[in-house]
Amino acid sequence: MEAILVLLIVAALNGAVAYIDQMLTGLVPMTLNADQYMTAAAGGSMVETLFDILLGFGVSLIILKFLKKGFECYVMWTDGDPDAEPAGLVIRFIEAIAVAVCFPVMYGWLADITQSLTDQLMAAIGTSTNYDWQAWVNGIGSLGLVTAIFGLVFVVCYFVLYFQFLMRGLEIMILRIGLPLACVGLLDNDKGVFKTYINKFFQSTLSVVVQICLCKLGVGMMMNVGINMNIFWGIACIVLAIKTPRFLSEFMVPTGGGGAGVINNIYHSVRLVGMAKGMIK
Q: What pLDDT score was predicted for residue 185?
A: 86
What's the pLDDT at 215? 83
The pTM of the full predicted model, rounded to 2 decimals, is 0.73
| pLDDT for residue 129 | 47
Tell whether the model's pLDDT for residue 78 goes beyond 80.
no
CB neighbour burial string for 125-164, b if at least 16 within 10 angstroms, e if fewer:
beeeeebebeebbebbbebeeebbebbbebbebbeebeeb
The pLDDT, as a whole number, for residue 46 is 73
Per-residue model confidence (pLDDT) at position 134: 66
Instruction: For residue range 176-195, list pLDDT tens digits in order.
Output: 888 998 888 888 878 888 88
| Average pLDDT of span 252-272 | 45
Query: Which range scores top for mean pLDDT: 5-14, 73-82, 240-249?
Result: 240-249
Read off the pLDDT of residues 2-41 as tens digits, 9 standing for 90 and up: 667 766 766 676 666 666 766 766 778 888 888 777 754 4
Question: Angle of helix 87-126 relative to helix 193-222, nearest 10 degrees?
Answer: 0
